[in-house]
Amino acid sequence: MFVLLANCVFAQKTKEEVFKSIDSKYDQYTNIAHRIWEFAEVGYQEVKSSELLQETLSKAGFKMQKGVAGIPTAFVATYGSGKPVIAILGEFDALPGVSQDAVPEVKSVPGRASGHACGHHLFGTASSAAAIAVKDWLVANKKPGTIRIYGTPAEEGGSGKVYMVREGLFSDVDVVLHWHPGSLNSASFGSSLANKSGKFRFTGVASHAAASPERGRSALDAVEAMNNMVNMMREHVPSETRIHYVITRGGEAPNVVPAFAEVYYYVRHPDRSQVVAIWERVVKAAEGAALGTETKMQNEVTGGVYNLLANEALSKTMDTNLRLVGGYTYTEQEKDFAQKIQKTFTSAVPKLESTSTIIGFGANGDKGGSTDVGDVSWVVPTVGLSTATWVPGTPAHSWQAVAAGGMSIGSKGMMMAAKTLAGTAMDLFDSPAVIEEAKKEFDNKRPGDFKYQALVGDRKPALDYRK
């Protein structure tokens, strides 16, 4: 009788109990996140990071599909069957050039060239933690439905999810959940910038730069001519446009006319049709530069993502769960770390205590960045949140983000995200009406004749874009 009663209580597992079960695995998930933080593997090279998450999910009983969409580090992990199908996205790629230790002053880690400056080590781990908790809850309550996690590589410039969407991997999914590390707690909804990126490679003729310059044709001249034209073009594009470039190859020695040079471009705008049109003009500048410098030009589109399609109905549900989970406070040690980090910022920063609060719910406009979650959000109703995994005031892609992400502040924010994702998924399994409302909003927001077309066209994943 006693046993039966105990089982009965277990079967009714409340959200509070699910949150507690996630909290009880704080050390395990912190350890996983920390290992991925140390691997710091960049886009499409996240072999160990992806394996660690796959192993964690597989041990928890998820069925694994590895190397999906032609990407060795992409995976889909599924538990359960039938409807609804609720999916959670998990990222794990690091950024090149941001090697940083988990200390509150600039200090790179010897032998490590990259770093988790966007917190994707926390992203993949929290999403896995949430999926496992939801799976346990489905089992305990004998609930029908499918919980799935998508291991999505190369978010930073590699557009990993785009290939997974193009492959139709999301075709049976009802709702997609995601989150992102940040410096505040919010489930407000907004969009992001559509983005197209690629490399322009110029080939000229090498020659002695002093003895026979007339016999050379400089590929670097071509890059500079192209950049000049694009920089002048900035005056004649819509004002929300963002164009940035880095010269990735510019020659090796000043006394050799560079026979090869390469420049890597990003074009962003809230509207993806503008991105496509401006990209075409950038290509023309490259063609013009090649013509004028008598070099040859070849261009490769390496990435392209949609803007995010927000879903207010789903965001409301997520906001309710985020408030239920609540924020967190710092220990004395964390406070000391956070104060030191805040002293490195030159502009005004929010109070440290803001980690204990949730930002007021509402539309938060377009964010400056881009994400390949955008493509997912145009084929399935999608919702996300952000939690304070970084010291308030920390910008993404900074050494301060790597530092906080490698210690307990990162873990605390990560656990908040895991619980909020789990609570939101539970609500979706229990309330078909919310899914229906979300789908209605989704259908209303997409043009009737919408047909998904990847901005990267039909190219294969750019598996070597970070090499």
Residues that bind Zn ion (CB under 5 A): 118
Residue number, 334 or 372, with CB nearest to Zn ion: 372
Residue least distant from Zn ion (Cβ): 118
Distance of closest approach, residue 291 Cβ to Zn ion, in angstroms: 38
Distance of closest approach, residue 397 Cβ to Zn ion, in angstroms: 8
Residue number, 78 or 307, with CB nearest to Zn ion: 307
Distance of closest approach, residue 122 Cβ to Zn ion, in angstroms: 10
Residue 81 burial (CB count, 10 A): 10
| Chain centroid to CA 297 | 31
Residue number, 150 or 429, with CB nearest to Zn ion: 150
Distance of closest approach, residue 120 Cβ to Zn ion, in angstroms: 6
Residue number, 251 or 410, with CB nearest to Zn ion: 410
Distance of closest approach, residue 441 Cβ to Zn ion, in angstroms: 25
Distance of closest approach, residue 396 Cβ to Zn ion, in angstroms: 6
Distance of closest approach, residue 369 Cβ to Zn ion, in angstroms: 8
Residue number, 121 or 201, with CB nearest to Zn ion: 121
- For 212, the token pair is 């026979």
**Residue 394 near residue 400 (C-beta atoms within 8 A):** yes
Beta bridge partners of 189: 363
Residue number, 156 or 437, with CB nearest to Zn ion: 156
Euclidean distance between CA atoms 413 and 298, whole angstroms = 44
Look at residues 204, 222, 224 and name the one whose alpha carbon lies nearest to residue 214: 204
Residue number, 118 or 409, with CB nearest to Zn ion: 118
